[in-house]
Structure 1
Amino acid sequence: MLSLSIQGLVVFGIAALWQASATILQNGQVKPTSYAETRINQSEYSFRTYSANATEISYQGRWDSKYVSWWSAPGIKFGYTGRTVAITFGNLTTDGVLVGYRIGGLDWAFANITAGSTHLLVSPADPNSGLTAPINPWTFELRVTNWAFGIQIDSVHAAAGEKLVRLPDLGRRIEVIGDSLAAGMYTSYEGLSSWAYGLAAGLGNTEYSVTAYPGICAADQDCWGNPRGQVHQWFYTSDTSSRAAALYGENPEPWDFSARPAADLVVINIGTNDGNEHNNVSTTAYIDALTKIIEGVHGKWPKAQVIVMSLWLGFYQSGNSYFPSAPSGWVNEISQMVQWFNSGDYLLDPVIYDGITKKTSRTGTKVEPFVHYFNTTGIMQHNDIGPGYHPTDIGAIKVASHLQQFIKMTFQWDLYATGPEVYHDTLYWNNEANY
């Protein structure tokens, strides 16, 4: 959903800028980003080591058969005993990639990862590692912040004599499909500051995956350097990055939907890149692609409910107020598509569009309504959109909060969050009572 003047920078330039300088602006001021050095010489420590395929490690988001992460905010979780956690990262890690990690629901700590190295992320020197836990074991979570980069897990280490513990799957699963808006582009910590992260973490008791990448269209065509659209790429493990092209070329790994439990809820927010005249996507092509994405979701996860979000392109000033921009005509088209899915006229054969075989049939049995429309109008105002035409951290929090309430009311989902929704560096306050 970026302007013509900055979109080319989105896919090819900003990622490199982040890795090299890690500059974050906070209210127009440069925020310090000097993260602790966590790299160690593994030979100097005594560890109990687990390989990347250990059943104790739970992979979050999309990871390929080489244990390389893809898309936005992928991560790992596990329980551990003792007061030590270290991870050895493989050579396919993006050198310098920023990761967030934490114990339980505490605040995120951050580290730049060196490919092929071991990083000590929890140690007895960490004051949080010695806190009295209400349960044993501790919970450790790590997430990749940047949507263009990734890590490769080689092995995970606990202290000698201690162990990792497999955590039980949480009670619900949510999938977010989108572009730069969901990926967290231009928020402070990208994936970990996005509305998609805040939505899932804020619901609590919910596993989540954010299959989103900046610049990508719903329609299957080149958009801002992304060679394929989500109508195709969602069915694959890797994203549309140059990193994926270098590793897999034209033969990426199809995503194994049977390897993990089905999503209960899928949130789709895509179309702002289709709506940019630079990409020349017609309304018919966009709605057809969005329809096929929903059909593909329903084919893979027949019991999943789907939420389609309305689109936004920023704000424009008129007189002394601001008004939201939107792709011309698409508000009605998206609404009509949702109505069609829920009209009783929609028929779906078990052999559906899956982005790979591209088989589509609408001559099967009638489907119960499963598609819902979430109107984003009025949630964000002009000061919730940054200079890059994307939500600020606060804008992302507002979208996530409204979506949580919509989900609660629509599906009667309880909000179980007891600490997991943490937006780092958003502790802003006024300590001057009189001014």
Structure 2
Amino acid sequence: MRLKAWALSLMLGRIVEGTILQNGQVRETDFPNTRINNPASYGFKTYDADAPELSYKGRWDSKKVSYWSAPGVVFGFSGDTVAITFGQNTVNGTLIGYRVSGMDWIFTNVTVGGTHLLVTPETPGIGETYPVNPQRFEMRVSNWGYGVQIDKVHVGAEESLIKIPPYKRTIEFIGDSLSAGDFQTYESLSSFAYGVGEGLGETEYYVTAFPGICVTDQECWGNPRGQVHQWFYSSDTSWRAAQIWGDTPEPWDFEKMETTPDIVVINLGTNDNNVANNVSAEAYVDAYKKLIQGVHGKYPNAQVVVMELWLGFYQYGNSYGQSLGFQQELEDIVAYFNSEEYLSAPRIWDGTTKTTKTLDTPSQPFVHYFRTKGILQHNDIGPQYHPTDVGAIKVASHLLQYIKLTFGWDLIATGPEVFHETLYWNDQDSY
């Protein structure tokens, strides 16, 4: 069974256990049961969770607990065996995707305290005639609302882990449920943000996104803090983060990041724009500016992309219209950061103090506006106001081209699967 988090609109709702649904119909799945009994009998060679050969992707805290969207771990290995023991802060039943090198994703539900045998001689990618060397193991958490804790990593008795150097370019997404993949088939691994990060190829990506969150620092759909505050912390605003860290979450250690983002894409405001959260335009603009100032302070060389909001569609006469939100405000924010007023005396924000700090060094223009109007049509939005899987792919495809044209980034991915189970075709020529 797959754990699925359901919500109303962009709301973080109660978490229930269920299957993958397609338009109300159960989608057949065949997730292998990878948990093994008596792992000591396998004679593994075992590494601790802080082994230097392990590269943690996305945000993990110092206890090696994952948060936010699509966090993962990558490492090289020799031999034909990989197993992982998951710690006590794992949410039981969390669905993970994993693969060897460039093979397709395999999914399995992991268990608290369980050891899961993920790679065997029969795993696709093992024993190939022309292997990628070293073999690369990648694991990603599929659900934004759950998480795992890495306790141990195991390989064959005579084998070893191998450090995989990070890619040379990095992108980060800061967002809410639209970036986290809420209501999509494989959630985080079906989101447009993941699609861009993975679809670029040879690119590190962070998806610092959580459903229901505002950019404004206030309660929104059960999230106690907004991204203008929470982005500076390892953990998200989930119930399990509060369970683990209480009222004193662990600050995110920007200095220890493997790579610093070259591009930061921000898609925030859908929740601020909802009348239920009572956020004024002034509060929204102030928080959004502070967030960009925070990004500029932590990543002084990063380019920032502000995404135009999409708020679904409405029927207008005998056609449809697209709802937008904070359109003028977002355009004004972009203009402000590219103005002489800001660039001559840039201000940064650290997420904790009540005032910004002015830098002595002038900046070059670094904020861009990505217009989303016209990319999606009304049937690209599901009943719960979030993109369908196809809708997410459309947004990702347009954003990939925007990044290529604006920043000159080549599209390096040339074959490995990005979105799982989207292979549809017709092979009948007479019907």
Same topology, TM > 0.5 = yes
> Is 2:232 the partner of 1:230?
no
> Is 2:199 the partner of 1:198?
no
Which secondary structure does the structure 1 equivalent of 2:320 belong to? strand
Q: Distance in 2 between matches of 1:271 and 1:333?
A: 10
Match of 1:31 in 2: 27
**Post-superposition shift, 1:160?**
1.2
Match of 2:125 among 125, 128, 131: 128
Cα gap change, 1:144/1:166 in structure 2, threshold over 3 Å: closer, same or farther?
A: same
Match of 1:166 among 138, 163, 168: 163
Which secondary structure does the structure 2 equivalent of 1:79 belong to? strand
Match of 1:306 among 298, 304, 307: 304
Match of 1:281 in 2: 279
Q: Distance in 2 between matches of 1:308 and 1:351?
A: 18
Cα gap change, 1:289/1:127 in structure 2, threshold over 3 Å: closer, same or farther?
A: closer
Indicate conservation of the 8 Å contact 2:336/2:342, yes or no: yes
Q: Distance in 2 between matches of 1:419 and 1:227?
A: 41
- 1:319-341 Cα distance to aligned partner (Å, 9 max, x none): 332221112xx111111110111
Indicate conservation of the 8 Å contact 2:101/2:125, yes or no: no
Indicate conservation of the 8 Å contact 2:218/2:226, yes or no: yes
- 1:356-387 Cα distance to aligned partner (Å, 9 max, x none): 23430347443210000000001111111111
Match of 1:59 in 2: 56
Indicate conservation of the 8 Å contact 1:73/1:145, yes or no: yes
Match of 2:379 in 1: 383
Indicate conservation of the 8 Å contact 2:218/2:225, yes or no: yes
Indicate conservation of the 8 Å contact 2:103/2:417, yes or no: no
Match of 2:204 in 1: 207
**Post-superposition shift, 1:28?**
4.6
Indicate conservation of the 8 Å contact 1:181/1:214, yes or no: yes
Which secondary structure does the structure 2 equivalent of 1:121 belong to? strand
Q: Distance in 1 between matches of 2:23 and 2:330?
A: 35
Match for 2:296: what amino acid? H
Q: Distance in 1 between matches of 2:353 and 2:430?
A: 66
**Post-superposition shift, 1:33?**
3.0
Match of 1:401 in 2: 397
Match for 1:35: what amino acid? F
- 1:205-234 Cα distance to aligned partner (Å, 9 max, x none): 110110000000000000000000000000
Match for 1:12: what amino acid? G
Which secondary structure does the structure 1 equivalent of 2:374 belong to? coil
* Percent sequence identity over aligned pairs: 61
Which secondary structure does the structure 1 equivalent of 2:340 belong to? coil
Q: Distance in 2 between matches of 1:431 and 1:321?
A: 34
Indicate conservation of the 8 Å contact 1:344/1:366, yes or no: no
Q: Distance in 1 between matches of 2:80 and 2:344?
A: 52
Match of 1:270 in 2: 268
Cα gap change, 1:57/1:350 in structure 2, threshold over 3 Å: closer, same or farther?
A: farther
Match of 1:241 among 238, 243, 252: 238
Match for 2:402: what amino acid? F
Root-mean-square deviation over aligned CA pairs = 1.7
Indicate conservation of the 8 Å contact 1:299/1:350, yes or no: no
Q: Distance in 2 between matches of 1:428 and 1:372?
A: 35
Match of 2:368 in 1: 372
Unaligned segments of structure 2, at least 5 residues: 1-6
Which secondary structure does the structure 2 equivalent of 1:49 belong to? strand
Match of 2:82 in 1: 85
Q: Distance in 1 between matches of 2:316 and 2:299?
A: 44
Match of 2:173 in 1: 176
Indicate conservation of the 8 Å contact 2:347/2:358, yes or no: no
Q: Distance in 2 between matches of 1:304 and 1:413?
A: 14
**Post-superposition shift, 1:427?**
1.0
Match of 1:331 among 313, 327, 340: 327
Match for 1:226: what amino acid? N
Indicate conservation of the 8 Å contact 1:352/1:359, yes or no: no
**Structure-1-length-normalised TM-score:** 0.94
Match for 1:404: what amino acid? L
Indicate conservation of the 8 Å contact 2:103/2:124, yes or no: no
**Post-superposition shift, 1:125?**
2.8
**Structure-2-length-normalised TM-score:** 0.95
Cα gap change, 1:32/1:367 in structure 2, threshold over 3 Å: closer, same or farther?
A: same
Q: Distance in 2 between matches of 1:414 and 1:319?
A: 43
**Post-superposition shift, 1:107?**
1.1
Which secondary structure does the structure 1 equivalent of 2:296 belong to? helix
Match for 1:161: what amino acid? E
Match for 1:310: what amino acid? E
Match for 1:294: what amino acid? I
Q: Distance in 2 between matches of 1:389 and 1:82?
A: 46
Cα gap change, 1:434/1:46 in structure 2, threshold over 3 Å: closer, same or farther?
A: same
**Post-superposition shift, 1:279?**
0.1
Match of 2:4 in 1: none
Which secondary structure does the structure 2 equivalent of 1:12 belong to? coil
Match of 1:6 in 2: 8
Q: Distance in 2 between matches of 1:353 and 1:335?
A: 21
Q: Distance in 2 between matches of 1:56 and 1:275?
A: 44
Q: Which has the higher mean CA deviation after the structures are superposed, 365-374 or 425-434? A: 425-434
Match of 2:425 in 1: 429
